[in-house]
Structure 1
Amino acid sequence: MAEQNFVDYVKICCRSGAGGAGSSHFYRAKGIPKGGPDGGDGGRGGHIILRGNRNVWTLLSLKYRKHIIAGRGVNGGENNRTGADGDDIILDVPLGTVARDAETGDFEFEITEHDETRILLAGGRGGLGNTNFKSATNQAPRYSQPGEPGQEEWKILELKVLADVGLVGFPNAGKSTFLSVITAAKPEIAAYPFTTITPNLGMVQYRDGRSFVIADIPGIIEDAHKGKGLGHRFLRHIERNATLLFMVPSDADSIKNNYQTLLHELEMYNPELLDKPRILAITKSDLIDEELQELLQPEIPKDVPHIFISSVTQYNIQKLKDLLWETINKFREDKPAEREGFLE
């Protein structure tokens, strides 16, 4: 049920409100049969607005709401009365939600802070009443502006999971088991590929009451950057993680080749991902002894910190927590602007 409730991609049709028309009214009162223009402006049409909410974790509320329609602005009235604005539609979305134009695929903006609001589709402006067109040479204008029409566009909303650590590895690398041990999360665990088909978030309790967030994201496969397997659905979640924890099992045919393949997929999807701090965890180390660990050293890449771990026996789990905490905080110090939303 939890997997069905996690929605990280929706396509919605948005229709903003039309602006109200300006009024072409003239003042009339007892004894004043020919008063001047007093037509008010029309109200603006309603906007469609996205609002960040740290208590929302999925786009589920929009999955079955395909048409979002904002209210129309009210027409201007007499006595220079401006019409009321149309009702805005405010959609609460998770932090890390990206808005794109569905037709062009162009990036528009990303919601990263709690209570941050951005206009997804603006309403039409209200028309000006005839009062605005009065002048010394035209004291009785009999015309006003109609309101601007609303816009109708299809938008794509994608969720990029916000976490301090993202787990990167092939299916069955032991990511879900590791997450279940290091956090209170309860991901599905089984001995077959693609057990995890949606991201799982867990809070890691560190020393002295401190904590950080770790995400188990669906396993990558070769050519994932081309959309194979879970493809882009997996890779976009990696973009918002501060640190990448690569996980390769000790019984892999080649630890170095596995790591290089994972790195290549990230580079092909987005070269900027290679700028993130990386740690290599060699999982399932309960299957080997210290002598075999030494024999595997030539197979381990030299350009990344590595550690042997076992989720089953909890071997080196605390050491890995220490290493992750140190790496996360170094990243925060080096790039504070990119740390917004992490470790709150």
Structure 2
Amino acid sequence: MPAALLALAVGAFGIGLTEFVIAGLLTEISTDLAVSIPAAGLLVTAYAISVAVGAPLLTAAGTRVPRKTMLAALMALFIAGNLTSALAPSYGVLMAGRVVAALTHGAFFGIGSVVAASLVAPNRKASAVAMMFTGLTAANVLGVPLGTALGQQLGWRATFWAVTAIGVVALIGIVVLVPARPAEPSGGLRAELRVFRRPQVWLALAITALGFGAVFGTVTYIDPIMTRVAGFGPGAVPWLLVLLGAGLFAGNLIGGRAADRRPMPALHASLAGITLVLTVFTVTAHARIPAALTLLAFGVTGFMLVPAVQTRVMDQAADAPALASAANIAAFNLGNAVAAWLGGAAIDAGLGYTAPTWIGALLAATALLLAAVTGALDRRARASRP
């Protein structure tokens, strides 16, 4: 794989870390800045909203900018946001830093996916996208536990200083390793927007939102599922998250290779796997060893979906992929937010802590149905060609 993919993966690692590590630092932030835990929790909500807003806006703003230049600019903005967070004297300034950093998230992954795919032969583009996303999975496996520990020992600001340093390394890597190419002759923003007239693009975005809603809607409630249902002690949760992260890491790489060989079967297989595993999880969650093994399988099937859906969107918007790719990242976050809300509402309604698993199974099954529809449309289009 080209060395430029390493720079993109480092950037993905930093972005993934700044998104997820905040959950482990809410108590420290709440105490230091004299705000409530729910107020500190809004730092997570604001980040997700900013991702959904920033992904299409910043990508659209850079349609005529060379992609290397745009990636470097996004990483510089990411550094500025996290530096602001590290220096924040108040809750409001910290919130501003989080919003600025989040604005770069979707555009970086969207444009970065297109750049990653362009660095390799067409039959390896899904693996290239998966390689970039290994930074995101590594952030979950290693970055979040280490970042949380750093913030607990040296103060939450130390974590943001570390993320800022990672951003600097990624920026240097992008400048040095990513090849400089002129802006793509895509016709600018109008051409990028035209791809949204295609039903297949919207179907792919819906599959992403539903499929990843199934995944992260369940991940949001892994702690109570594994402690209050499976019977693990609180001290086991970090190790269970490492187990989940190992599954995510493996699934991402497996999914990339599978999508390179047979894209649509890989998409169907990942969604079917998520549906099956979450259905099983509703039963195995009641015993520790079966729950842990199912958690690992859930991680594998969950992130097998990433390269399949990301390359699917880029394929359906091949003549203007950057904005569609960024919109797909927004769909990830929209699905995550809605599914997490559904899971919480079900728990509040007294349906139990395993409710997110069967809700996730229903979401994944719906995504699988849409994948069957999009596959049928593909076959009809091929049959109608002369």
TM-score where L is the length of structure 2? 0.24
Whichever structure has more strand as a proportion of its residues is 1
Larger radius of gyration: 1
